[in-house]
Amino acid sequence: MTKIIKWLINQGLSWLTGGTLDRVLSTVDKSIDNETERQKIRSEAILSHIKTQEGTRQVAMQSRVFWAVWALFAVPLGLWWAAVMLDTTFTFGWWVPDLPQSVKPWADTIFGSIFGSGAGVAGVQLISSAIRGKR
């Protein structure tokens, strides 16, 4: 009985609106589908860009010039950091100046790459040894 009443109400709405409601709802559905497709295309483009950048970096890291330039920045930064740590730990009374603001973003990137990659490798090794059961 309730199915018949629902059918009659639907038919009455369709007759009153002349199918306008159906057209509006189908337009909304198509709009949502189009937006979903746009988001999918955008995410595929971003993924393609990231993979291209990854490949470029892998090729660059095969070069000795890359590591020489990297060491040119990382070694003095490491020495500065060691001096700060020694002075802080043993209170030698050295006056180790802070890094200039123009160098600070580069130093943060270098520290992040050194310690971030080391922590990442250590984390992966810890997880893999736990999976293998060799803790």
DSSP character string of 110-135:
HHHHHHHHHHHHHHHHHHHHHHHT--
Residue 44's domain spans which residues? 1-62
Q: State which of 36, 62, 88 marks the end of a domain.
A: 62
Whether 37 and 89 map to the same domain: the answer is no
pLDDT tens for 25-73 read: 677 777 777 788 888 888 889 888 888 888 887 888 888 888 888 888 8
Residues ≥6 apart with Cβ < 8 Å to 35: none
Per-residue pLDDT for 135 more than 60? no
**Cα–Cα distance measured from residue 95 to residue 5, given in angstroms and rounded to the nearest whole number:** 88
For residue 18, is pLDDT > 60? no
- pLDDT 10s digits, 99-116: 888 888 888 888 787 777
Q: Are residues 78 and 134 in the same domain?
A: yes
